[in-house]
């Protein structure tokens, strides 16, 4: 009887895990099948004001319409932004400590309703918490979380963990993304004997385009602690972050993978606080891809042992490639997903790219059932 009970428990656990997105080597799996995450970035309706403070009800019809259109086109994943740079959430005290997810107490239910809505259309959601691509943190709220450990812990305890707990195990949750393009706020040209913190290799690569604010030690701790917190609340949840260019996320091409397990653990000290998959962004410059772009390399060129998603790209800066070619290239060159930018502005052509690959299965199924 005991053996039978144990076998039943194991079977139930396997069934439950198979219903959620998981990582297997360099690929994603869902319902015991390899899948390719084809989709796009919404990424907001009202910048930094889509969730919390009774804001969701105003934007839900537009977001649900975009989810429906993405599903209709054959896509399966959508990336949306949550706090951005703390313009409207979470709630802060006057001294910069987080006291609640938002001022009016609606953010948790808003995220839950977003996932419930996506579930109806078999679409996975990637909530991106923070943004480093611009410098508009005039109140220094995000800055406090990055540089002050006590303030970061207040966010984790008062906002992040409650948010993760609210949607723990949700089938429409693809992954939590900690931050978008932190390189925009990193200080270039910092020499450090620890390669994880040294930015000399990226001094002339464009790092710090928005502002020179953060050292890698602080940013990596910021990511490590939040990733570990997500795992503590929901061990089955996946965690990622989005880099502006593969240059900061590989040890090949003469670069340094600052977001390796070793670097994140070194900076933050939390063993569980690592990424489950990597996410590269790629835009051409003067109609040319750089030599590190995913659109001139196969995924194997980066020497990474996790899935890689091409998390941002668009036709405006694509070295002449159209959207069908971009989605096809990512699908056929070892990547585990492709999310175009952005659906509100350039939705029709991007959805056409999703439709172009929707029936493929040799490198992972695109059609999913949640």
- Cα separation values, 194 from 199, 206, 212, 226, 369, Å: 10, 21, 20, 22, 45
Contact 157, 165 (CB under 8 A): no
**Is it true that the peptide bond before 90 is cis, omega within 30 degrees of 0?**
yes
Residue whose pair of structure tokens reads 């070619």 in the numeric block: 325
Active-site choice (181, 183, 315, 325): 181
The two three-digit tokens of residue 184, written as one number? 């925009």
| Phi, psi at 286, each rounded to 5° | 55, 45
d(CA 158, CA 271): 22
Element (H, E) at 332: helix 323-332
Half-sphere CA count of 349, side-chain side, radius 13 A: 15
Contact 124, 370 (CB under 8 A): yes
d(CA 294, CA 310): 7
The two three-digit tokens of residue 162, written as one number? 């409650």
Active-site choice (143, 177, 183, 312): 312
Count of other CB atoms within 10 angstroms of residue 286: 6
Among this protein's residues, is 312 annotated catalytic? yes
Among this protein's residues, is 317 annotated catalytic? no
- Residues 171-185 as b/e (b if ≥16 CB within 10 A, e otherwise) read bbbbbbbbbbbbbbb
What is the distance between the terminal CA atoms of the chain, rounded to a whole angstrom? 33
Question: Which residues participate in catalysis according to the annotation?
Answer: 181, 312
């Amino acid at each position: 009887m005991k053996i039978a009970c144990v076998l039943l428990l194991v079977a139930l656990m396997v069934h439950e895990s198979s219903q959620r997105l998981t990582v297997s080597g360099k690929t994603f799996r869902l319902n015991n099948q390899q899948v390719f995450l084809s989709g796009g970035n919404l990424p907001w309706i009202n910048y930094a004001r889509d969730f919390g403070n009774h804001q969701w009800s105003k934007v839900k019809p537009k977001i649900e319409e975009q989810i429906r259109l993405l599903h209709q086109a054959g896509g399966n994943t959508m990336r949306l932004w949550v706090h951005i740079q703390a313009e409207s959430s979470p709630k802060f005290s006057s001294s910069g400590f987080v006291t609640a997810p938002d001022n009016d107490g609606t953010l948790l239910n808003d995220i839950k309703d977003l996932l419930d809505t996506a579930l109806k259309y078999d679409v996975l959601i990637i909530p991106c918490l923070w943004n480093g691509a611009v410098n508009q943190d005039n109140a220094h709220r995000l800055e406090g979380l990055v540089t002050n450990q006590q303030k970061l812990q207040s966010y984790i305890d008062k906002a992040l963990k409650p948010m993760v707990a609210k949607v723990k195990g949700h089938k429409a949750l693809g992954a939590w993304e900690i931050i978008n393009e932190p390189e925009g706020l990193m200080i270039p040209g910092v020499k450090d004997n620890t390669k994880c913190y040294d930015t000399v290799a990226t001094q002339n690569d464009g790092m710090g385009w928005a502002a020179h604010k953060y050292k890698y030690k602080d940013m990596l701790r910021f990511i490590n602690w939040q990733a570990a917190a997500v795992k503590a609340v929901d061990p089955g949840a996946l965690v990622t972050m989005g880099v502006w260019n593969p240059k900061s996320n590989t040890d090949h091409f003469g670069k340094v993978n600052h977001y390796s397990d070793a670097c994140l653990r070194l900076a933050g000290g939390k063993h569980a606080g690592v990424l489950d998959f990597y996410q590269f962004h790629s835009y051409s410059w003067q109609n040319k891809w750089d030599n590190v772009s995913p659109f001139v390399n196969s995924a194997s060129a980066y020497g990474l042992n996790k899935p890689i998603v091409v998390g941002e790209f668009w036709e405006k800066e694509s070295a002449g490639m159209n959207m069908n070619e971009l989605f096809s290239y990512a699908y056929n060159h070892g990547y585990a997903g492709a999310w175009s930018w952005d659906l509100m502005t350039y939705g029709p052509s991007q959805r056409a790219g999703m439709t172009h690959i929707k029936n493929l299965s040799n490198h992972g199924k695109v059609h999913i059932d949640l």
